[in-house]
Each structure stands twice: as structure tokens, then as C-alpha cells.
Structure 1
Amino acid sequence: MEARSTSAPRDLAALPKAHLHLHFTGSMRHSTLVELAAEHGVHLPDALVEDWPPRLQATDERGWFRFQRLYDIARSVLKTPDDMRRLIRETAEDEAAEGSGWLEIQVDPSGYAARFGGLTPTVELVLDAVRQAEDATGVGIGVVIAANRTRHPLDAKTLARLALRYTDRGVVGFGLSNDERRGRAYDFEGAFRIARRGGLLSAPHGGELLGPQSIRECLETLGADRIGHGVRAVEDPRLLEKIVEREVTLEVCPASNVGLGVARSAADVPVRQLFEAGARMALGADDPLLFGSRLVRQYELARSDHGFTDGELAELARQSIHGSAAPETVRKRLLGDIDNWLKRH
């Protein structure tokens, strides 16, 4: 372990990094949510206004239902194409301020298709907005098209085929989200087979609300390159060894693990344990709109609650880049900038 320095800690917002676990609606600024709700006449519950960020607990079905209901209400304020463009632009601005030089944002177009003319127009709207945001901020952005576990596996196959049509316009991966307890990974093997054959990264959620078996299904059945969360791999040492051997990146989101009741506190999220085992990690904010913190806060928690030195935090940032789909030129630039960050006193 790196010797501890007596000098002031380096600025974590200046640490170059990649952000690989961020959901589309969940990336919205709270102020934007309130403004768009007023503009479009959408009533927001107290949990999204005076009592924001909401108190959440998703370890039981009722708690997850409340979480999903708040998420759906937040999505409902996105009424126009300009709303979608604003969300992406502001998200990219926030990422730039947090030191993120590469973002992979996850979106399920099914949640917006009825509003914007169908799945294909929705994906094209998102990709156009992404290109505009890249030009405005300098942050590179890839898109992960995500299927919903609560929908039929045939819907996931439709999304996988759609995603492959846009690999030359910024779609880099295929994901699987929503409540692990309501859709087993193996039900979606066909969709992920389509995506992988087309060259997309496999990035399903697993090992958050369910234990190691959920992660094992993502590895063995879905051929996961990355796993959203995956923190419960520590409960199965042999599984963790396999994750390390295969160099699978775990998208670890400390604040959301606490917010959903997966961990009692940030100190209970096994960031140090995973790191010491040699697992690749990419810290992520998940849904800042509902959990109240963005990317830098996750690195701050690694520093304050897990004793990560600046050298170890730099290694976490490197792992986020190695686990990304960023172009080689972007990878080299960011890795060099991380080395420069470490040289500063």
C-alpha cells in the first residue's frame, strides 16, 4: 500500500476518470426536474421536492415499487425533444466538472418510445443529443441500450437488434436493468447473444439485490464484460476469483447501495475487499437524481470510508478507463492525465 502523505489530499474532481454506471433519467439535475415539472404541469411528490433526496429502501418489493414509482414520475417530465437534449447536455456538463473524460450512459428507449414516435426515433434522438453534448463539453459519450427485466425477453431481442444498427453512431453496449428478483438473467440469453455477436459490450446488472447466483448467471449465461454493481461477489470467493481471472469490471455504486438498503453505510460496501482481491472496479453514481450524489462523491467515500490513498484512487480511475468502450486515443489521453494528476503536489 502507498505510504500516506502528510500533504493535503489531491482534488478528486481533477482526477481524470470514466463513468460507466449512470442511468438516463437518473442523471437529471434536481433543479431541472423541478423546472420541467412546473413547465409541463407535472405534480411532484414531496419526496422529489421538499424531502429530496428521498429516503429509499428497496430490499423488499414494496420498497422497490416506491423507488420505481419515483423514477417513473421523474421520467414523465421529459415531454419534448428539447427536454431530452437539455438532460444530456447538463449531464455532460456535470461530468466535465467531476473530471469524467468519458461517460457511458444507459438508456431503455422503451420508456420513452410512446412519447417520441417509437423505439427507433427515440434512439436517434438520444444519439443526436449525445453528439451535441460531446461537442459542447468535450466529454466523450457512449450509449448503452438496456433491456428491462420486467418486460418480455422478446422485447430485449428487439432492443439488441436495434442497438446493433447504431454501433457506428455511439452505441457501445447492451445492458439489463430493473429489479433482479423479477427477471432471471438466463431468460435474456438470446438478446445478449445477438448483442455480443455484433460487438457490443455485455453489461447487465447483477449482485445487488440478489446474491452470487445472480452474478454467476450474468457471467456464464450473458457473457458479461461488466456487471452493474456485483458487490455481493464477496460472498463467494470462488466466484470472485473467476471475476478477477476474466478481468470483468464491476460497476460499484457506493451511495446507491446505501440508498437502496443493500449496505447499512458506505463503510459496509465492500470496495476495499474487492480492490484487495484484484477485481476491476469502476465507481459509479447510478441515479444522482434519486441518491443525491454524483461521481466525485463515490471517490470521496473510497477515500474517507475505506482509506484509499491517492495512488489507489488513481488506480480505480485507471480501472474505469480499462473497463470502458472509450476509443484508444481517449484511453491514452486519460491514462496520461491520471499520471500527471499523481505527480502534482
Structure 2
Amino acid sequence: MEMPRPLSALPKAHLHLHFTGSMRHATLIELAREHGLHLPDALVQDWPPKLRATDERGWFRFQRLYDIARSALRRPEDIYRLVRETAEDEAAEGSAWLEIQVDPSGYAHRFGGLTATMELVLDAVHRAAAHAGIGIAVVVAANRTRHPLDAKTLARLATHYLDQGVVGFGLSNDERRGRARDFDGAFRIARRAGLLAVPHGGELLGAASVAECVDDLGADRVGHGIRATESPRLMERLADRQIACEVCPMSNVGLGVTERAEDVPLRRLFDAGVPIALGADDPLLFGSRLLPQYELARQVYGFRDAEVAELARQSIRASAAPEQVRKELLQRVDAWLAAPGDQPGA
């Protein structure tokens, strides 16, 4: 009987990873000590924290922990360290292309404003990519709890750096506190410039949230999107238009969106032909990076190696990687699958 192929050797694209949330837990502990920052128990001995964001109080707690972690990034060298270590972790897990999502307004007060923050992040990304030998690009994300005019400002900022590593424009935070359609102006700015539209939807709200991202924001991908399974017609539309859902199973469980990993409808989306890009979302708060998401696909959702390889292909096709990079990565996926499955699993 053949052993499953090692998942860490499978080339893949990681398209749903938030900036502060990508930090190593050990790095957070170390930076907090250096800066004299008191961390709550949920980020120290009780880590990863027990979260349940399906009610507003739970989401507030999640956001508060994220904000505390972000406050540990106080110097430019902290930014460089975070991105370098993230790139190292991605490379170790077989992630050959990363699109990391950042809202620069959350860091601007520390680093000299929006433009200076954007340039710091992009320089850190370029250096980390060269260091780790992987491709890294940036998605600028607006916060749906803030005014749509703020989102327009960020969209214009993102377009300014289109040729310097910014590839997409997103919309994150609590769906219940900001309708997608309210941000259509910002997404028009981004799409006109050639940026991918990658808003969050279908996590805390149902299929209508996903549909709004597609119909009003022109989404090329949807962050999470798992609630699309509540509408067979919507799943058919996503499949027909090849709009990928960035599914983050351990995040869904960690936030209480589903009770168990088994309840995340990954198999239903896949079997319906909806492209999927597995993501880790915020490893700092959920305790798992990209590789465990692929392990779940194999161990919990019953994906055989040929299907796991197709998941990796879908992530690569849905990415903003240059055409030649995508072609090379797809060839490497084929080579992984063609190799005999006689190596120990990842």
C-alpha cells in the first residue's frame, strides 16, 4: 500500500493570510517583552485563545486580541522580522506564492502615515521574498467597520503601488457591521486600475453576503465564502464564473462559524466545481498555518492525492502570480502527483 505523498512538498499558493495574524506566537511573546507590552492570558499561557465570534461580544474579543498583537509592531525592524519569518514559514510548508493582506491604516500612526507604511511593508515583502525564495505580493484591505470614504483612500493608495507588489484590494472585519455594497466605489477604483477584487463574505453572514461581494463589488475571489453552500444556485454561479473561495477551515472552527472541522463545507464546494484556495487566515490567533489546512483536506474531508493536487492548482490559478510563475508551479504540482506515493506523509 502506497503512503500518501508529503504535503509540505506540494507547491501551493496562499491567498488568505492577514498581516499581524501571520506572526509567530514566539515572536509576539518576544516583542511584547522587548516593548514592555502586557499580553492577556489568552495570548500567553492560554494560547491559542478560545474564541467564538458569532455574536458581537465574541467578535469584539477577537478584534481586541488582534489589536493587542498589532501593537507589538512598533519599529520598522519588527515589520521586517514579521514578514521574513512569515516567508520562511510559507516556504517550509510548500507555499511558493503568498498574497498577504494588510490594512495600512492600522499601522500608519506608528510609521509616518499611510504612504510611509505602505512603502515599509512593500520593502519588507521584497526582501523577505528574496530571502525565502518564494513569490510574495500584497493585498490592501479596507475595514468594513470604517467609513466607505476611508476605503476609497486605501483603494487609491493601492493603485499607486500596482507595479510595486500590490495585486489586490480587499474588505475585511465583521460582515454584520458593513454591507459590501456600501464599498462599491472603492472597488470600482481598484478594479479600473487592474487590481483583483478580493472582499471577505459568507463567513458570519449567509449566501446573500457572498452574492453581494460578487454582484456589487465584482469579486474575483471571496474571502471565506463557505456560506455559499446555502444556495445551490449561487454555488453554480461561482463555479461557472470560476470565482474562488478562500476557505480557512481552522479559522471557521476557531471563530465558532462551524462547531467542528467536519462541518466546514469544503467537500461540497469542491464537488460543486467552486474553485478553492485554502488559507490560514490568522495563525497567530488560530494556532495553525497553511499546511494543517491541507492535512484536514486529506484526513477529515477524504481528499485523495489527486484531489489535493487539484486544490493546490486551484489556489495557483486564482492567484495574481505572473503567468510564467503560475505555469511553473502547475508543472511542479503535476510532478508531485506523478511521483510515487511511497514517502512518509507530511
Where does residue 3 of structure 1 map in the other structure? none
Determine if the alignment matches structure 1 residue 9 to structure 2 residue 4: yes
Where does residue 249 of structure 1 map in the other structure? 244
Where does residue 265 of structure 2 map in the other structure? 270
CA distance in 1, matches of 2:228, 2:89: 31
Q: Describe the superposition over 1:124-150 as per-residue Cα deviations: whole angstroms up to 9, x where unpaired.
A: 000000000011011100100000001
CA distance in 2, matches of 1:300, 1:202: 28
CA distance in 2, matches of 1:135, 1:280: 29
Local SS of the residue matching 1:267: helix
Determine if the alignment matches structure 1 residue 319 to structure 2 residue 324: no
Q: Which runs of 5+ in 1 are unaligned?
A: 1-5
CA distance in 2, matches of 1:310, 1:274: 18
Aligned residues with identical type, % of pairs: 73
CA distance in 2, matches of 1:274, 1:251: 11
Q: Tell me which stretches of 4 or more aligned residues in structure 1 moved more than 4 Å.
A: none
TM-score (norm 2): 0.98
**C-alpha displacement at 1:304, in angstroms?**
0.7
In structure 1, what residue type is equivalent to 2:123?
Answer: D
Alignment coverage as a number of residue pairs: 340
Local SS of the residue matching 2:100: strand
In structure 2, what residue type is equivalent to 1:193?
Answer: R
In structure 2, what residue type is equivalent to 1:333?
Answer: E
Determine if the alignment matches structure 1 residue 80 to structure 2 residue 75: yes
CA distance in 1, matches of 2:297, 2:34: 39
**C-alpha displacement at 1:329, in angstroms?**
1.6
TM-score (norm 1): 0.98
After superposition, residues 91-110 of structure 1 pair within 5 angstroms as: 91-110=86-105
Determine if the alignment matches structure 1 residue 180 to structure 2 residue 161: no
| 2:287 aligned to which of 271, 289, 292 | 292
**C-alpha displacement at 1:177, in angstroms?**
0.2
Determine if the alignment matches structure 1 residue 60 to structure 2 residue 55: yes
Q: Describe the superposition over 1:36-80 as per-residue Cα deviations: whole angstroms up to 9, x where unpaired.
A: 000000000010000000000000000000000000000000000
Q: Describe the superposition over 1:259-294 as per-residue Cα deviations: whole angstroms up to 9, x where unpaired.
A: 000111111000100000000000000000000001
What is the alpha-carbon root mean square deviation over aligned residues? 0.5
Determine if the alignment matches structure 1 residue 148 to structure 2 residue 143: yes
CA distance in 2, matches of 1:272, 1:237: 14
Where does residue 39 of structure 2 map in the other structure? 44
In structure 2, what residue type is equivalent to 1:167?
Answer: L
Determine if the alignment matches structure 1 residue 195 to structure 2 residue 190: yes
In structure 1, what residue type is equivalent to 2:186?
Answer: A
CA distance in 1, matches of 2:62, 2:156: 29
Where does residue 222 of structure 2 map in the other structure? 227
Where does residue 123 of structure 1 map in the other structure? 118
Local SS of the residue matching 1:282: coil
